[in-house]
Structure 1
Amino acid sequence: MSKVKDTATLAVEDKLISECDSNDLPNIDVSQIQAIDIESLIGVNDPRHAPRILVLYGSLRARSFSRLAAEEASRLLRWYGCEVRMFNPSGLPLPDDADSDHPKVQELRELAQWSEGMLWVSPERHGSITSIMKAQIDWIPLALGGVRPTQGKTLAIMQVSGGSQSFNTVNQLRILGRWMRMITIPNQSSIPKAFLEFDDNDRMKMSPLYLRVVDVCEELVKFTWLTRGRSAYLTDRYSERVESAAEVSKRVNQKSL
């Protein structure tokens, strides 16, 4: 018996079908389209608006391959029905070299709070993530006015390299994602010799590396649909409940004196 699909599922399917052969995604194989089965991922009371994804990249070069990979992924995420915003790190000061009310810092923090999932794309430089990538992550606090901007949100990670295949950067991004209390998806993308993977129009060429980018985007969308309605429960911790109870007890005792 066929499964009856809700309006949110149908909306994503309509978006996929209407844009699958568009100029935005010339490499998509129409015969392999599989819409996100939202109905199987969410509960009755879960939010049904388009997933909100923030994309960060880690280079300011005029032709930045991390930016090009981020743009390619952003197109795919929109194709999968997401609302996507990309932060331009140009002008973001070094951490501790400006006040937190700096306009670029405020922009980044507002986007972090707005988002329900993130995609981080960094080049590998000297075997590590770039300082530009790290600065963006360092400016996002674990707690901001009683709100945790990243806790319980989904995260996908990608890297680009000028040389041979490496996983140094994605490994470090995964550690940072865990530190920021994010749900980092199992899949990841590492693009070696990135200068060979983009054409003269700055679009990623069809290859197994491109297919992996599609896989990462698809998985990020699935995990975001699956977890965002349960984020508060998934991140509810015993230690924090004990701490909160102790604070309440302390206030009660102070009032009784």
Structure 2
Amino acid sequence: MPNLDDGELGEIDFQAIHNRAPSLHRPRVLMLYGSLRERSFSRFLTYEAARILDRLGAEVRVFDPSGLPLVDDVSADHPKVEELRQLSLWSEAHVWCSPERHGAMSGVMKTQIDWLPLSPIGGIRPTQGRTLAVMQVCGGSQSFNAVNQMRILGRWMRMITIPNQSSVAKAWQEFDDDGRMKPSAFYNRVVDVMEELVKFTLLTRDRSAYLTDRYSERVESVEQVHKRVSLPKI
């Protein structure tokens, strides 16, 4: 096979997959929501999920997108951009929760994701290998446009998106005056999603570097990889 670089392909390392000593710290989860409204149902749902994650033993941080500028409107050393990127570098898992607006995720949600680069920061890609759960809130009947879009983005950001997801229909009916979610099948699904996220995070976090290691990048130089994933702004 003349096209292969045998020195870089090698055999599958079963020990790297099966025999790593597990990390014992609490799973680190970053949560992003996609609305700045005072009564934001995506924020309510995010904090409800955060309570569930805390109950499951995770360490949770929720990013407040208020004040985050549009991409390329400021430099990457803006305080809110630096905060978001450092939280992603800290994390082992993400939860993205957006309202569905005009049949898509919100601009607030997309802006947060767009500020997370594919290229490494200090040698580490801020999303690669992290697990991801996606959720959305709907103003009307149940839809899946936003979660489907976020799944595409999760794959593009080299994340491990879990199979389960949550879409809350008529979200204005599902929360009380204090922003707490009422008991319902929707609430039970959120519990399912957070439980699955923690399981997948524990299963993959010590193996994510190996699972996301790519032959095509091993045969490239560091400079070539950086150039390819850091294309000029368009």
State the TM-score, normalized to the length of structure 2: 0.86
Residue 170 of structure 2 is aligned with which of 177, 182, 193? 193
Deviations 1:82-119 (A, max 9, x none): 00000000000000000100000000000000000000
| Alignment partner of 1:106 is 2:75 | no
Aligned to 1:216: 193
Q: Please provide the CA RMSD for this pair.
A: 1.6
Between structures 1 and 2, the one with greater helix share: 1
Aligned to 1:134: 110
Gaps in structure 1 of 5+ consecutive residues:
1-41, 248-257
| Alignment partner of 1:53 is 2:41 | no
Aligned equivalents of 1:245, 1:111: Cα separation in 2: 25
Given residue 93 of structure 1, which amino acid in structure 2 is its aligned partner? P
Find runs of 4+ consecutive structure 1 residues off by over 6 angstroms: none
Residue 169 of structure 1 is aligned with which of 128, 137, 146? 146
Tell me if structure 1 keeps the 8 A contact 2:42–2:99.
Answer: yes
Aligned equivalents of 2:103, 2:19: Cα separation in 1: 42
| Alignment partner of 1:155 is 2:132 | yes
| Per-residue deviation, 1:46 | 2.0
Q: 1:96 to 1:44 in 2, by over 3 A?
A: closer
Aligned to 1:39: none
Aligned equivalents of 1:51, 1:77: Cα separation in 2: 9
Given residue 46 of structure 2, which amino acid in structure 1 is its aligned partner? A
Q: Would you say how many aligned residue pairs link Structure 1 and Structure 2?
A: 207
Residue 51 of structure 2 is aligned with which of 66, 75, 85? 75
Q: 1:245 to 1:211 in 2, by over 3 A?
A: closer
Aligned equivalents of 1:124, 1:131: Cα separation in 2: 10
Given residue 190 of structure 2, which amino acid in structure 1 is its aligned partner? V
Gaps in structure 2 of 5+ consecutive residues:
1-17, 225-234
| Per-residue deviation, 1:52 | 0.2
Aligned equivalents of 2:222, 2:137: Cα separation in 1: 46
Match of 1:61, SS? Answer: coil
Match of 1:174, SS? Answer: helix
Higher RCO, 1 or 2 (CA under 8 Å, sep at least 6)? 2
Aligned equivalents of 1:146, 1:243: Cα separation in 2: 16
Aligned equivalents of 2:38, 2:161: Cα separation in 1: 29
Tell me if structure 1 keeps the 8 A contact 2:136–2:147.
Answer: yes
Give aligned-pair identity as a percent. Answer: 68
Aligned to 2:230: none
| Per-residue deviation, 1:146 | 2.5
State the TM-score, normalized to the length of structure 1: 0.78
Match of 2:135, SS? Answer: strand
Given residue 115 of structure 2, which amino acid in structure 1 is its aligned partner? W
